[in-house]
Amino acid sequence: MKQIIKPQTLLPGDTIAVVAPASNVKRESLEAGVAELKRRGFNAKYREDIFALERYTAGSVRRRVDELHGYFADPEVKAIIAARGGFGSIQLLEHLDWDVIASNPKIFCGYSDISTLSIALYQKCSLVTFHGPMVAKDFATENYDWRSFMKALTRPIPVGQYEPGNVEVLCEGRARGRLLGGCLPMVTSLIGTDWELDTDNCILFLEDTAAKPYQIERNLQQLRLAGKLDKVRGIIFGEMTDCIQHPRQGYRLQEMLKDVTSDLGIPVLFGLRSGHSDKNMTIPLGVEASLDCQRGLLAVEESAVI
């Protein structure tokens, strides 16, 4: 079994670095998010060149790579949180020094396009990462779940159960495995690369937003045909916000998801509020978790930090 690396616990007063490895950032949104982090008792810092713009990304590949390298190597920084997603993380993969990162394991948090980096950090550095709020998006608008953020990042004990909310059981059963995944198109975009996610024996978390059902199925079929679902022990879908063809499409997204996954013979749950969701919950990726589709519960069975 892969030996994972857990980052150090985040404590009140610790410094969080904000990075922009993907799309460009608006100053007012970033500053609002930084103010919220400070209100919550943390220090926060960012480089002034985080506001750079090159086509549709936050500056050049070199700028974004240097930003990540610098903050992973910075002993003052205890956590690194992305400003936003969008596009651009995949441009960085072949330029990152994985030895620098592995030698300085830290909390790394984000979702959407940032799932590309989270998967790569797990595959190349065995690092536990966090699918959760971003600074210029969720912290800026207070669209995050504070309780799960603190449970996952600030306590070196098992994270425990996540509140089920309005989850829906698509396929019944129970499973246990390493919780992995992220934003669905980012997972599929890495198939066939050196950073492809190893999904064997995992509980696979997948979410997206504003994608049409047939686009979601296309990604799921790609995962299936590539063998990435063959040894998965369970699947949890996010809320999949705004994932409709049109208001009168005549079917529910959940029906398609059930059809695509029912022959796998594993438990499947729909509706976890993490990522593109209201009150975005923080979930650790890379740690042991259990899925109970009788009760609609996800529980993380070990600590995500040390």
Tokens representing residue 13 in the block: 């007063």
Residue 1, pLDDT above cutoff 80: no
Our CA dihedral for 277, 254, 197, 109, rounded to 10 degrees, sits at 10
Average pLDDT over residues 205-220: 97
Catalytic residues: 112, 207, 276
264: pLDDT confidence band, cut at 50, 70 and 90? very high
User: Sorting pLDDT into bands at 50, 70 and 90, what band is 282?
Assistant: very high
Q: Which residues of 97-121 are buried (b: 16+ CB within 10 A; e: fewer)?
A: eeeebeebbbbbbbbbbbbbbbbbb
Q: Name 43's bridge partners.
A: 15
Least confident of 20-34, 162-176, 181-195: 162-176
Residue 224 carries which side chain, given as an amino acid letter?
R
- What domains can you pick out in the chain, each with its CATH number? 15-153 (3.40.50.10740), 160-300 (3.50.30.60)
Which tokens belong to 87? 């596009």
Beta bridge partners of 238: 272
Average pLDDT over all residues of the chain: 97
Burial state string for 142-177 with b = 16 or more CB within 10 A and e = fewer than 16:
eebbeebbebbbeeeebbeebebeebbbbbebebbb
Q: How confident is the model over 139-156, as a mean pLDDT?
A: 97
232: Cβ–Cβ under 8 A, 6 or more apart, which residues? 177, 199, 200, 201, 202, 203, 204, 264, 266
Q: What is the pTM of this model?
A: 0.97
Structure tokens at 118: 């989270």
Task: Say what the pLDDT of residue 248 is.
Answer: 85
User: Which single residue is written with the structure tokens 């690194």?
Assistant: 80
**Over the stretch 53-110, which tens digit does the pLDDT of each residue have?**
999 999 999 999 999 999 999 999 999 999 999 999 999 999 999 999 999 999 999 9
Give the range among 36-50, 78-92, 160-174, 221-235 with minimum mean pLDDT.
160-174
CA 129 to centroid of chain Cα atoms: 7
The stretch 138-153 carries a mean pLDDT of 97
CA 264 – CA 186 distance, rounded (Å): 22
Closest CA to 123 of 185, 194, 182, 192: 194
Q: What is d(CA 59, CA 159) in angstroms, rounded to the nearest whole number?
A: 36
